[in-house]
Homo-oligomer: A and B are copies of this chain.
Amino acid sequence: MNEFQFENKHVDAFEEKSQMKMIFGKLGKVFASSIVALGLVAVMPMRAQAEDGYELWLRHARMDPEAAAFPTGFMLDCETNSPTLNIISDELQSAFMAMTGSELVRHDKLEDGTLILSSTQCSGSLQSDLEAVESDEGYIIRSENGEEIGHTLIGAKTDIGLLYGVFDYLRQVASEADLTKLDITQAPAIDLRVLNHWDDLNGHVERGFSGESIWDWFRMPDYMSPRYTDYARANASVGINGTVLTNVNADATVLTPRYLEKVAALADVFRPYGIKVYLTARFSAPMELDGLETADPRNSDVQEWWKTKADEIYEYIPDFGGFLVKANSEGQPGPQDYDRDHAEGANMLADAVAPNGGVVMWRAFVYSAEEPDDRVKQAYDEFVPLDGKFRDNVLVQSKNGPLDFQPREPIHPLFGGMEKTPVMLELQLTKEYLGFSTHLAYLGPMWEEVLDTDTHVKKEDASVADIVDGKTFNHKLSGIAGVANIGRDRNWAGSIFDQANWYAFGRLAWNPKLSSSSIAEEWIDQTFDLSNAGEETVLSMMMGSREAVVDYMTPLGLTHLMGTGHHYGPGPWVDDLGRADWNPYYYHRATADEIGFDRTKTGSNALAQYAKPLRKKWSNLETVPDNLLLWFHRVGWDYEMKSGLTLWQEMVRHYDRGVDAVAKMQSDWLNLEGEIDAERYQQISDFLGIQHKEAKWWRDASLAYWMSINGLELPEGSAQPEHSLEYYKALSFPFAPGQTQ
C-alpha cells in the first residue's frame, strides 16, 4: 500500500462523514448509528462500535486540512531508542493519520515544516534553555522560522518529558493553535501527580460508579489487558505520573509474592509512560502475613519486617513509588493501636522504602474511634503537633476540606497548618457525594476554588496551590492525589463528562494555577466536534454544573446530608446511627428556630485552626460568604441574608435554582442533537434525565424535611414537594453501588 492510497481513502471517508451527518436527520436513530458503524467501520457492524467514549480526549478527530499548518514530517534528533521514544513515534503518527488522513512521514533531513523531536541526549538548539527548566519532566516546544524554511522543535531532558511535550503539541493542534508560532516552556509544578484507586482485590471499587476495577488481578500477570496500556497512555497525556493500585482500606494480600508479580507486570506496562506504581500498606500486615504478634512501629521485628518487605517489593519493581497509608481511621489498624503517633508509624515505613527512593503518603483523614467535639477538627488536632517529626520522604495527604469530599467545604486547615511537612492534596474524582457518575458535575471549578484559596499563613504565595506545590514553605517534595473515577465501564469514568474530571485533575496536577474554564475548553476541543456555539453551550453546562449540585444537595454551607452508607440521595433526617458524627443531623442541627453548626468561639471554635485573616472573615456574619454560612454559623430561619431574603427563602431559592439549572442543561443538550455522535449523545441525554429526577428528589425531600422542622411555608411560586416526607424517608436502596465492603 502506498501513501497515496491511504490518503485517498481517508479523504473519502472524511467527505462521507460530513454527508452522513446530513442523513442523520432523516433516519431513525438506531438506523443512523448502524450506518455510521457501517460507513466508517467496515469490519465492525455492531451498534456499540459507534463512538462510545472509550477514546476519551484522545479521539484525534478528523480536522479540516486547512485548519492548521500541519507538520510535513518528523525527525528524531539523533539515533536513540527507548520504549518511550517508540511510543512517541507511534503516538504522533497515529494522531496525524487520524487528524489529517495522511501519514506523518519521517524526514531524513530538515525540511520546511519538519517537527523535530529532541530526545535526551541531544536537544539541539534548545539545550541551554532546557537546562533552565526545573523539572526532568519539563519540555520546550518552539517554532523556529528561518528565511527559507520553518520548523518546530520539541525538546526535553528526558524521554518522558518529550512524551509530555508531544501530547501538549497534539493538544495545540486540536485547539487549532498557530503551529508556526509556538513557544511553550513547561515543567510540572508538583512532583507526585497520582491517582488513588480505591480498588479491592476482588474487583469491587469502593465509591466506584463506573463498573468494577480495571485491574483484572485474577488473569494477571499472564494476561495483560490492552486496556492497561490505554490507561497509561491517557494518564501520560495529562501528565499523571503515579498510580496507587489498591484501596486505602487495604488488604495485606497485595504484598504477597503472588500479587507482587502482578503488580510488577503492571509497572512494566506503565513504565514507558512515566507512571510509577504505589501500593496501600495495611499497617497490620506483619501480623496478617507472617504471624508477628504486633505491628508496633517501635518493635524491631516489625521494623525489620517492613524493611525486608520493601526490599522484596523493589526486587519485583525497581522503581516502586512507595506506600499510601490510611491508619487509625474508620477502623483501619495503625500506630495508635500501640500508643504510638502517626509520625512513628509513617517513619517506620519511610525508613523501609527510603534506600530505594520510595515515599510514604500518610493520610490525614483520620476518623478516630472516639466521638470528637467537632468532627472537622480532628485531623488538624492530631497532625499539627507532629509537624517536624516526619522523615523527609513522608508526605501527609489531606483531603481538600476538613470533612469528606462534600460538594462544598472550606479548605482544610492543614494547608498552611503544617510548615515543616509537605502536605499533599487529595481530591476525589469519583463523585461519592456529587451524584455518582450519572450527575453532570464538572469538578474543575471546585478544585480551582480550593487551590486559589489564600490560606493567609504568609503575606504572599500562600494559596493552597502554593502550599501544595511546595512554594510557600520551600518543600522539596510535593504531591497531589486524585481518587480515581476509573472502572471497567466502556467509557472508563462512568460517563462522558466524568472523563473531564480525570482530565482536569491531570492538568491541575501539572499546573495548579490553570483556570478550570480553560481546561474545560481544552477538553471539549478534544472530546467533541462541535460548532463554536456548541462549544459555548457545553462549556457553560460544565462551568455551572457543580454549583447546581451544591444548590440542590447542600446549599449555603450545609453538608453531609446524604443517605447513610451509600451516600445516594438525601437523608437529612437521619439521626439514629450509633455515633453522633455519623448522622446528617449532626451537621445541620436544625430546630424550629435555627440551623447550622456554630464553629466560632461560641461553638466548637474550629475556626481557630485557620490563619487570622481567614478566621476573621469567616467568623463574622457580615463577611462570611453565603456559601459557607451554615458551615460556620448557627442562625435563625428568619436571619436576613445579603439578598434581603430570609435564610429560609434564600435556601428554597437555592434548591429551586439547582433543579432549574439541571433542566437548563437538559434543554441545552437537546440543542446539540446532531452535533454529537448518537451513542454518546443519548447516554448523556439519559443521564441528564436521571440527574433532573434526582435533583428534584433532593430538593423535594430536603424541603419536606426542613418544613417539618421549621413549620414554615414555601415562598410563593415555589412548588410543594411531590411526595410526603414519610415517602422520602421510606425509600431504600439496598444495592446502591460503591459501598464499603
Contact = CB atoms under 8 A, between A and B. Distances in A.
Interface string A717-741: 0000000000000000011110000
Given A12-B12, A13-B9, A51 B45 contact: no
Contacts of A30: 90, 229
A45 B34 contact: no
Contact of A55 (B6, B44, B218, B224): B44
A16 B45 contact: no
Contacts of A736: 218
B55 A203 contact: no
A211 to B, nearest CB: 6
A202 to B, nearest CB: 5
A686 B101 CA distance: 34
A43 interface: yes
Interface string A372-415: 00000000000000000000000000000000000000000000
Nearest to A212: B212
A334 to B, nearest CB: 23
A633 interface: no
A14 interface: yes
Contacts of A683: 223
Contact of A98 (B5, B42, B490, B735): B42
Nearest to A209: B218
Interface of A: 1, 5-6, 8-10, 12-17, 19-20, 23, 30-31, 34, 37-49, 51, 54-55, 58-62, 90, 93-95, 97-98, 101, 201-203, 211-212, 217-219, 222-224, 226-227, 229-230, 253, 438, 488, 490, 679, 683, 686-687, 689-690, 693, 734-737
Contacts of A17: 42-43
B230 A47 contact: yes
B222 A690 contact: yes
Q: How many copies does the complex hold?
A: 2
Given A5-B16, A218-B736, A222-B689, A41 B38 contact: no
Contacts of A98: 38, 42-43, 45
Contact of A40 (B20, B42, B48, B686): B42
Contact of A8 (B12, B39, B224, B686): B12
The 4 closest A-B pairs by CB, nearest first: A1-B19, A45-B98, A223-B686, A38-B97
14 contacts: A1-B16, A9-B39, A12-B12, A42-B62, A42-B98, A45-B59, A45-B94, A46-B230, A47-B226, A48-B227, A211-B212, A211-B488, A222-B686, A226-B679
Contact of A45 (B38, B55, B693): B55
Given A1-B16, A222-B686, A60 B45 contact: yes
Contacts of A16: 1, 5-6, 9
Nearest to A28: B86
Nearest to A18: B1
B40 A735 contact: no
A211 B683 CA distance: 22
A193 to B, nearest CB: 22
A48 B226 contact: yes
Nearest to A259: B735
Contacts of A55: 44-46, 49
Nearest to A52: B226
Contacts of A19: 1, 5
Given A10-B42, A217-B735, A34 B94 contact: yes
Contacts of A44: 41, 51, 54-55, 59
A735 B227 contact: no
Given A48-B54, A488-B488, 20 more contacts: A5-B15, A5-B19, A9-B12, A17-B42, A31-B90, A38-B94, A38-B98, A44-B59, A45-B58, A45-B98, A46-B58, A47-B230, A48-B226, A48-B227, A48-B230, A49-B55, A201-B735, A203-B212, A212-B212, A222-B686
Contacts of A490: 490
